[in-house]
Amino acid sequence: MNFDLRLPLGILFSIYGLILVATGATASPAMINQSLGINMNLCWGIFQLLFGATMLGLALRKK
């Protein structure tokens, strides 16, 4: 049987979410300026973390 694809998807985007949130939390003013004054790393990192967690949740619930 193949494994559930949502498992690697969930892990991958949780890792990426964490990396982005960490980068965003320590962002320099230059980095925030580059993305038009929005801390995009932080915002998009949180979104990816949520997406990753949802995928993980769905994959684990089935077992």
Least distance between other proteins and beta carbon 63 (Å): 16
Least distance between other proteins and beta carbon 61 (Å): 16
d(CA 37, CA 13): 25
Least distance between other proteins and beta carbon 31 (Å): 4
d(CA 15, CA 21): 10
3-state helix, strand and coil shares in percent for the chain, rounded to the nearest 5: 80, 0, 20
Q: Which residues bind other proteins (CB under 8 A)?
A: 1-3, 5, 8-9, 11-13, 15-16, 19-20, 23-24, 27, 31-32, 34-36, 38, 40-41, 44-45, 48, 51
